[in-house]
Amino acid sequence: MGKPTGFMETARKESPVRPPLERIKDFNEFHTLTSDKERQAQGARCMNCGVPFCQSGMMLAGMATGCPLHNLIPEWNDEIYHGNWSHALSRLTKTNNFPEFTGRVCPALCEAACTCGLYDSPVTVHDNELSIIEKAFESGEMVARPPKMRSEKSVAVIGSGPSGLACADQLNHRGHNVTVFERDDRIGGLLMYGIPNMKLEKRIVDRRVALMKEEGVIFKTGVDVGKDISPEELQKQFDAVVLCCGAGNPRDLNLPGRDAAGIWFAVDFLRQTTKTLLNTGSAPMDGDASAHGKHVIVVGGGDTGNDCVGTCIREGCASVTQIEMMPRLPDSRSDSNPWPQWPRVCKTDYGQEEAIAVFGHDPRIFESTVKEFLKTPEGNLCGVKIVSVHSEKDEATGRNRMVETPGTERELPADMVLIAAGFLGPRPYIAEAFGLNTTQRTTVATEDGKYRTSVPGVFCAGDMHRGQSLVVWAITEGRAAAKEVDLYLMGYSNML
């Protein structure tokens, strides 16, 4: 696939990004696209490897490697190389409903499994994908394609995040009548309010939603299912219901001083920033929800924590520190983490790059955790007490656990704390309203690899089904659930 000698002749070249000190002046996306000629050269690097692990989507050593959507990556890389952009689009959209989302926010599991990356640098799959879909929108090739025939079946999709949108898109193109219910004021779920604008501009989400509307999908915002409308009403109105409500129950830190004013869940902070940005054209620069002029502590070293770092810098924080419990990962693969496993290496993401540029040092403090929130007599946050931790084997379970290192406590000033410690599954009231069985992780229970719940005609997909995960997994789940719904409605299904 691609040019047989391309990977030997052309070096990997990623799409350019605006410099940190420039991009922090706004909330616009900072990645830019390269020319068609350069993209064709990068497509030529895709080698005829015989076994394309990039599209495998399998689990190795407990971690996913390769694309969960099984995108036909070698095929559309070959089409890019030959300049057949329309053919590349047809192969890309065969397996991925929203490449404009994954091309921006996916961590590129495909590239981690690229055969070219075994001895050299992997193919720029992520950038190639984004170039295909953006070129299609720019050229006018992405137009509404409503189904030519409609079934008499109706489906309610609850939640408009990536799994809900993917499920709705699939079922609508199959010809079913689909209505998407969203409790927020805008469509998009995690895509709208969970991912900052500089990673995914909201016009990109609105552009896709507008296309889906043209194709016949009905969207209803401001409807909180289980409160504003009962499950019984939905099941009377629709032939099937698909719950795609996400994992919106954030993990808290039940520590002394937790009641201090100035402590936010990261998801609430990011949501408020995006909402203000959309409503007013600028981020909040004063008030409790703003990081402007404040010393900020971010608890959590994952993607959400990094998003908080980048957001706080754009709002003009006085300082930002990221507390990470786990040790710093190595800069290159260890012998126990061979290709094509997901590489467990240290990554300095965009937010950390910006913190280094602004403050002169990496904002992360590894192998540490918060022990106490400090507050003034008036109840306002004024600092945090942290302590170093180290890994130690638990004799009772045989597993390693992080324990405090004696004598390492210290205090850091803090006017704002953002808790980005992950999620504990979906908010329970929807599952309770439908009378669904749940797992120990509080996700909705189904058979392994299936999406039917314990209630006939009710299905579940996305983070509500599998737990907190990636956008690409949410799209994968939405597509798979749609096929199962189609089979339930029609008795057969020819959907992918």
CATH T-level topology, domain 6-139: Fumarate Reductase Iron-sulfur Protein; Chain B, domain 2 (1.10.1060)
For 178-191, the pLDDT digits (tens) are: 999 999 999 999 99
- CA dihedral of 308, 362, 110, 3, whole degrees rounded to 10: 130
Strand ranges across the sheet with 263-265:
263-265, 416-419, 295-299, 319-323, 364-365
- Which residue type does 444 have? V
Report the residue count for the chain: 496
Q: What is the pLDDT of residue 393?
A: 86
- Equal fold, 154-248+424-490 vs 263-419: yes
Q: Is the pLDDT score of 275 beyond 80?
A: yes
The pLDDT of 71-80, averaged and rounded, is 96
What φ, ψ does residue 335 adopt, rounded to 5°? -65, -25
State the CATH architecture for 154-248+424-490.
Answer: 3-Layer(bba) Sandwich (3.50)
Which whole number is the average pLDDT over 444-449?
93
Round to whole Å and give the CA distance between 241 and 444: 14
pLDDT at res. 286: 85
3-state secondary structure of 411: strand
Query: pLDDT, tens digit, for every residue of 367-399?
Result: 999 999 999 999 999 999 999 999 998 888 888
pLDDT tens track for 414-435: 999 999 999 988 989 999 999 9
pLDDT of res. 337? 94
Average pLDDT (162-179) is 98
Q: What pLDDT, on the 0 to 100 scale, is given for residue 4? A: 85
Rounded to an integer, the average pLDDT of 137-160 is 97
Contact 164, 191 (CB under 8 A): no
* Mean pLDDT to the nearest integer, 271-296: 93
Q: For 467-484, what is the mean pLDDT? A: 96
Q: pLDDT tens-digit profile of 298-314?
A: 999 999 999 999 999 99
- For residue 284, what pLDDT is reported? 84
Interatomic CA distance for residues 414 and 386, integer angstroms: 12
The predicted pLDDT at position 48 comes to 78
pLDDT at 1: 59
Average pLDDT over residues 289-300: 97
pLDDT score for 400: 87
Nearest residue to 475 (alpha-carbon basis) of 488, 463, 489, 457: 463
Most confident of 1-15, 35-49, 363-377: 363-377
**Mean pLDDT, rounded, for 454-474:** 96
Please give the pLDDT value at position 434.
95
CA distance 47 to 90: 21
Residue boundaries of the structural domains of the chain:
6-139, 154-248+424-490, 263-419
Model confidence, pTM:
0.96
Q: CA 427, 429, 435: angle at the middle one, nearest 5?
A: 125
**Residue 443: which pLDDT band, with cuts at 50, 70 and 90?**
very high
User: pLDDT value at position 397?
Assistant: 83
Return mean pLDDT, the chain: 95
Answer yes or no: are the C-beta atoms of 102 and 199 closer than 8 Å: no
CA geometry: angle 223, 226, 231, nearest 5 deg: 105
| Domain 263-419 fold | FAD/NAD(P)-binding domain (3.50.50)
User: Could you read off the pLDDT of 81-95 as tens digits, one per residue?
Assistant: 999 999 999 999 999
